[in-house]
Structure 1
């Protein structure tokens, strides 16, 4: 806080003075205390201040002016916009651009309250103007409005309305599109993200399903080193001890995080994909060794069969004996077996693609669900990456698992993609092959690395058009999970692979995924 002194060098009358933020340019209409109606056209060039060194005002051929030469991060400020007591719930802007971009509408400042986001698709050229609309949070009273730009666009004017927008692409979310169509649309998350109220609220706006990124994998439950208990103590804790158990002790299982997450999901109307029961990574090495000692030799297949049955049935029983367990609707029973190298599983069972422990894992999971009366409502998946490279191997593996009954319901198609590989046609072909073989499919780990946001958006559009083509043809596709909330928390953060750049900032790829939905002929629920 500072005391400001004006020192005059001669006669002058002064009405008012204002300060501008660093790097912020004063606009063409400095505030004089008068308000402007939110419901009349607000000329874009009539800003009170702005940020953007190349921002320009230019004349339009038919008369009037617009602003342009806009780049990512530029913004314009319009002070004293009067929304009245009844308020506005939508905004319309007249724009022209050759690109897909967004305009955030904020209150107060460029980092102030986000009222809504206008998706601007290409109008064909920077000389072709059209109206685009978006719904906003209800806004009343007199506010300073800030337009924050994510890319190149020319803006003629904007105005607000007391009626909601009928522009589907701006009323759409992942939840009321893909969630409604497929039944499940989710994100991967961790417990500490989930207990943050802001994060949880955003999750509930966009998704109806979550997958724990790491906290349900074997090393999170078994621990990096064993905590051993007696067989009788294990039974008292509710663990499943198979009749062929040969070890004198039993490893303690840690369900504390899983229990807290199931409670949060149940109390907030979220469903949960359980990931994963069997994986060659993130399974502690001691689990495969004699006496649960990491320095000892590997156990026999018979001993490992019993350990596998103990682990799978104990975990599943614990989940569904919980008062919150019904939120768990699917399990990745075995993860990435066809890509395993030098694993403990291979050391014990060999390197065959169709191998007994994979089939047994599904049988154990199936039998546990049958005993609990949950098999009809809970699905079991084989989950893998680069499925377009091992499509036939996956088909063969699932047929091997199901040779004496249906134990595996289908394929979890991980989708860790890049705009250069695979081609959308290759991805669609693999998906169609799984569907043609009668498998249920869930897209389980979607992200797309890229060189720029526009390329990512175009690629995502093509991928999702292929997914939706398969769905329209009757394909049993029952879910999509995006592998992370936003770029900086992704496991591939340096390559900006997700649909959001921050928790509440969608990227062009977000809108292209929604556009694929409406372009495929589906309506917003």
Structure 2
């Protein structure tokens, strides 16, 4: 009896003690916790609700307040059905009793809309946001696919790495438990051998999940152990890079150490996809620290509507870009959405056609040998790449602005030397006349007798940069032959005979081809506002017997600090001077640098296009605008971020402002 009383007292004491220590089957330490509190999804995408410290003996239920917006399955995977908002209530079931863990707020947005959250810190880290990526509200809203096709949706919760590989020597991949909103993500370690040319990190093979000639919205979350700038790159042999040279995809983003940051980009797949030629994307951080990727989605989409192309085609007739043949082939979706004209960066310059090792002792088949030609050896011109350019331009619906026939730069030195050897002295003026005529006539004959050449090559830069032919620090080869007594640019003539002769030969050969007056002929130069009167004098000299030079290509490699862009500014006054002479005007190599990140670029572009469109509306014969490059990341002046796109398919705010400015000026 006494023993029973002692046991009863002991049990009572234990029960009282347990009340104060919190020991209970329901409220024990280590209970389940709802991690996901908010989801921002694109229509058609999926995301899993994350619960940490789950008890395997318990079950969990998920209830959506609006299944038409967000549907959730029994495992907690949410599917974004339609644009709108919903709440998902999450409960834990313990021995038949329900315990509410919390509510997840779900927002479903249209494809192309960036989530509101900027960065998500890891548990235990400080909540210091990374540098925000500015995304403008576009004036011309991109047109999304009505039913987006999801090609990839990976959150690593199934520990599946079969699609992933390490890009770079020493890089290793593994699953890490600190995911963006769950307990799994991809981690890349061993990045110690990284270099700035290629970078290194985790790569994904997308060869079998993308379609040829399509665009894809890529979204993911990225993190790095140290502060970093993270870049997504593509590398393959048929698109998104030259051979095995990587190409940037979308904008870089800055991330704070230990914090997740949302990243998105648009990728354009190549026209052809070869299963044997793997297409890979990989993430690179600009340091050697461990980096992480999670929640990767690929959604087929359309991101640029026809507003830009339609508007500027209506205003100027020709709106174009500059690219290489590789860029042309690899960026069809991007360039054809924006432009109707193209200038090849190098493929139509003399250095692409002429080769010192390809000079024949006999006349090449089908070549024109003019009476002025005095050599007994004959350069064989290499048109292979340009023939591909013509065919591709025709397929894509581009007109070609041919650049250039006669130029002191990028014309091989052997072309000016005796015996076509760089080691010999200069030829005479008479010999050079024959060589120039040989070159021009055979180039033109090849272009316009090649299938579709007449369809696409609509104008020619006959001569380039005569008034800057000392800018390389020495007298040009052309002037060394034609003006041997000339000692400096100060006594350079503004009536150069070889320039006039080049236009005469070009016009005459076009007449033979039935194209005189149909193919426009231009003199092209930069800083035209500094040599305006000289250009006018020279063109009038060229045209003194007959109008054979149609006008001026105004290269426009500008800077926010110089020259003045608006009405009454230097560019405006130069256009007025050329217009007064009856010259046709094209803006041929447009970019605007802002090396100091002053923030003035947007206003500069607005002032420039307000002026250009206003001039055109008033009757000035401006017939084309060509932007020099696809985007900042591949611009020859990339440090100044001079273009309307930071990366392919990544428009800057200035892109939309230029559209609105042109619309308003054209009303």
TM-score, reference length from structure 1: 0.71
Specify the alignment match of 2:462 in structure 1.
333
Q: Is the 8 A contact 1:208 1:271 kept in 2?
A: yes
SS in 2 for 1:205: helix
Higher helix share: 1
Q: How does 1:8-407 map to 2 (within 5 A)?
A: 10=28, 14=32, 34=64, 35-36=69-70, 38-40=82-84, 50-52=117-119, 72-73=132-133, 109=220, 173-196=307-330, 199-223=331-355, 225-231=356-362, 233-234=363-364, 236=365, 238-326=366-454, 327-341=456-470, 342-350=475-483, 351-407=492-548
Distance in 2 (CA, whole Å) between partners of 1:49 and 1:33 is: 24
Distance in 2 (CA, whole Å) between partners of 1:187 and 1:431 is: 21
Q: Count matched residues.
A: 407
Q: 1:10 to 1:290 in 2, by over 3 A?
A: same
Q: How big is the shift at 1:271?
A: 0.8
SS in 2 for 1:468: helix
SS in 2 for 1:481: strand
Specify the alignment match of 1:490 in structure 2.
635
SS in 2 for 1:195: helix
Distance in 2 (CA, whole Å) between partners of 1:357 and 1:33 is: 81
Distance in 1 (CA, whole Å) between partners of 2:305 and 2:50 is: 34
TM-score, reference length from structure 2: 0.57
Q: 1:495 to 1:384 in 2, by over 3 A?
A: same
Specify the alignment match of 2:607 in structure 1.
462
Judge which range, 181-190 or 444-453, deviates more.
444-453
Distance in 1 (CA, whole Å) between partners of 2:38 and 2:444 is: 60
Distance in 1 (CA, whole Å) between partners of 2:37 and 2:445 is: 65
Q: What does the per-residue CA deviation read over 1:293-343, in whole Å, with 9 as the maximum and x for residues that have no partner?
A: 112111111110110011111101100000120200011100000110211
Q: 1:42 to 1:188 in 2, by over 3 A?
A: farther
Q: How big is the shift at 1:50?
A: 2.4
SS in 1 for 2:348: coil
Q: How big is the shift at 1:195?
A: 1.8
Distance in 2 (CA, whole Å) between partners of 1:409 and 1:502 is: 35
> Which fold has the larger relative contact order, with Cα–Cα distance below 8 Å and residues 6 or more apart in sequence?
1
Q: Is the 8 A contact 2:610 2:665 kept in 1?
A: yes
Judge which range, 512-521 or 409-418, deviates more.
512-521
Distance in 2 (CA, whole Å) between partners of 1:192 and 1:461 is: 31
Rg larger for: 2
Q: Is the 8 A contact 2:617 2:666 kept in 1?
A: no
Q: Is the 8 A contact 2:645 2:652 kept in 1?
A: yes
Judge which range, 312-321 or 34-43, deviates more.
34-43
Specify the alignment match of 2:266 in structure 1.
none
Q: Is the 8 A contact 1:454 1:509 kept in 2?
A: no
Distance in 2 (CA, whole Å) between partners of 1:417 and 1:381 is: 20
Query: 408, 431, 434: which is aligned to 2:575?
Result: 431
Q: What does the per-residue CA deviation read over 1:365-387, in whole Å, with 9 as the maximum and x for residues that have no partner?
A: 10111110112321000000000
User: CA RMSD of the aligned region, Å?
Assistant: 3.3
SS in 1 for 2:374: coil
Q: Is the 8 A contact 2:85 2:106 kept in 1?
A: no
Unaligned runs of 5+ in 2: 1-25, 40-48, 52-61, 71-80, 88-104, 108-114, 122-128, 136-144, 149-215, 223-231, 233-249, 251-303, 484-491
Distance in 2 (CA, whole Å) between partners of 1:318 and 1:86 is: 46
Q: What does the per-residue CA deviation read over 1:470-504, in whole Å, with 9 as the maximum and x for residues that have no partner?
A: 10110111111000001111111111111100000
Q: 1:277 to 1:397 in 2, by over 3 A?
A: same
Q: What does the per-residue CA deviation read over 1:152-178, in whole Å, with 9 as the maximum and x for residues that have no partner?
A: xxxxxxxxxxxxxxxxxx966331111
Q: How big is the shift at 1:52?
A: 3.7
Q: 1:339 to 1:33 in 2, by over 3 A?
A: farther
